Structure 1
Amino acid sequence: MAKVSANYEVLYIIDPAQGEEGIPALVQKFKTLVETHGTLKEIDEWGKRRLAYPINDLLEGYYVLMTFESGSEFPAELDRIFKITDGILRSLIICKDE
């Protein structure tokens, strides 16, 4: 039988050029998205940090780590939304139950 829900961890990097209003707006957007499709456990904003390697000629990014519980179909949709959202440099979603 398939799992009904699982624990996930997502780390995403926001382009710091989004500014003081754009970064909190993106964090709130993804927080709301996760809360509507699952249970948000924790959100940890690491802030602006140096990237390990340049991405689109940028050397810094704003890191956000979220842990949540949701059904198995939601992470694929979340990944799709990360990819089409302007201002998101990279994202990684991991299932912690596996």
Structure 2
Amino acid sequence: MKKYETVMVFSTAIAEEETQALVEKFKNLIAKNGTVESVDDWGKRRLAYPINDENDGYYVLVNFSCEPDFPAELDRVYKITDGVLRSLIVAKDE
């Protein structure tokens, strides 16, 4: 199993309950396919540049370990989920 970290930026146009539901959805998806090591909720922050006419985003960082084929599936799910402005998955050095 390799170690990864992912940063998710959610839209602030959706309700806070919906944002928390999305965070739980992705934590559960990662836990089902690997091991969640830590979740760091950064909260609402200003974006470096507007995305879809939004200036703020809700940031969450998750460190996890999984098999090398899972990050591609996770990225696919990010792209088809409403409310996700941006996401990034990075393999960590061990």
TM class by smaller structure: over 0.9
Large movers: runs of 4+ above 3 Å: none
Q: What RMSD in Å do the two structures reach over aligned CA positions?
A: 0.9
Per-residue deviation at 1:97?
A: 2.4
Distance 1:65 1:31 in 2: 10
Tell me the TM-score normalized by structure 2: 0.97
Gaps in structure 1 of 5+ consecutive residues: none
Gaps in structure 2 of 5+ consecutive residues: none
| Structure with max Cα Rg | 1
Per-residue deviation at 1:20?
A: 1.9
Deviations along 1:27-84, one digit per CA (max 9) or x if unpaired, are 0000000000000000011000000000001000000000000000000000000000
Structure 1 residue aligned with 2:88, among 68, 75, 92?
92
Distance 2:79 2:57 in 1: 16
Number of aligned residues: 94
Q: What SS is found at the alignment partner of 2:15?
A: helix
